[in-house]
Chains A and B, each alone.
Chain A
Amino acid sequence: MSIEPYSEDQRDALQEITNIAMGQAGSSLAQLLDVFVVLSVPRVRIVEVDSVPESVEEMVEEADCVTVARQAFYNNLRGETLVIFDHRGCKDMADLMGHDGSLDENAEEELILDVSNILVGAVLNGLGEQIETDFGFTAPNIMARSVPVDTVLSKETLGWSHALFIEVNFSLEDRGFKCHLIMLMPEESIELMRQSLDKILESF
């Protein structure tokens, strides 16, 4: 299946609405942890299935030991989100929530799921508001726990040829904390998103 790439305007529009959605998610995270969240420019692109694991690997610097929460969202547009925390991120988050190193494994997972759910909910609700879509969500689960980043997707069977890959990063000031949120949407969603973007672009 061949996919027509997004035009420069379409890509720009998607990046900007993601930017706005990310801002709302960052604000939620800031409220939750009571810190200032540093936002960077989101990246959007259409990728081939083979390059997805590589694209994920590229994002994460401290790639040796990551924990990943996965959550699906659905409406006409559907896809999955991965929120990737490195080892340092998990620890920092626990500290900020007042658990100074005393978390057992389940409590840490719970915290990771909570934070990723908040980020995913805020980003997708923010995105949904702008493209007039009300998303449903599945409960998040831990997809991988303390594994090298290159193994995260290697075991998964990816049943599509192209995906829309949206990447948003959150980091905390004065701390090593970094987490990466990836939204992956399969082919038919790429086209539906294109229509939504065109609608936005036509409106001015």
Chain B
Amino acid sequence: MSLPVLVVDDSGMSRKLTIRALPKEWDIEISQAANGFEALEAYHDGKAHVMFLDLTMPGMDGFEVLETLQREGLDCFVIVVSADVQPEAEIRAKELGAMAFIRKPINSEKVIEILSEYGIYEH
């Protein structure tokens, strides 16, 4: 079965850039969400074993998604993809359970490095 991967960002362009940065040969099933609410819904539908998550979004932002996942004890490998590049933003995201933090603009080397580090993807 393909791995369910969810890309969460309010910007369609940004989602496209993230998807383009994912390894081509990776056997995955990609879903997209444009805000926190959609992300949690997709998670509950089983579409998010791995989540690429933006932080600044209207409605429910990325921090709130992380909080909810943590509070409800949900299991998901979250990689934050953020334009908010304050060191404090990375610390907070990781405290809330994010496994990795990628600064925008995203590039595929960084993605592959993180995925390999955690053994999610071997190339």
Contact = CB atoms under 8 A, between A and B. Distances in A.
A41 B13 contact: no
Interface of B is mostly: loop
Nearest to A129: B105
A17 B119 CA distance: 31
Interface of A is mostly: helix
A36 B17 contact: no
A22 interface: yes
Chain B interface: which size bin?
Answer: 20 to 34
Interface string B57-85: 11000000000000000000000001111
B12 A12 contact: yes
Interface stretch (A23-31, A59-67, A89-97, A112-120): A23-31
Contacts of A27: 84-86
Which one of B56, B86, B104 has the highest number of Cβ atoms from chain A below 10 Å of its Cβ? B86
A144 interface: no
Given A15-B11, A19-B56, A41-B10, A204 B16 contact: yes
Given A39-B56, A40-B56, A41-B58, A23 B11 contact: no
A24 B85 contact: yes
Interface residues of A, number: 23
B45 interface: no
A36 B88 contact: yes
A12 B9 CA distance: 11
B56 A41 contact: yes
Contact of A12 (B11, B56, B86, B89): B11
Contacts of B31: none
Contacts of B14: 16, 19
B49 interface: no
Given A39-B56, A40-B56, A9 B83 contact: no
Given A19-B56, A20-B104, A12 B83 contact: no
Contacts of A201: 13
B20 interface: yes
12 contacts: A9-B13, A16-B14, A19-B56, A19-B104, A20-B104, A23-B56, A27-B86, A30-B88, A37-B86, A39-B83, A41-B10, A41-B58
5 A-B pairs closest in CB distance: A23-B83, A16-B11, A20-B83, A30-B86, A19-B83
Given A27-B84, A41-B10, A41-B56, 4 more contacts: A9-B12, A40-B56, A41-B57, A200-B13
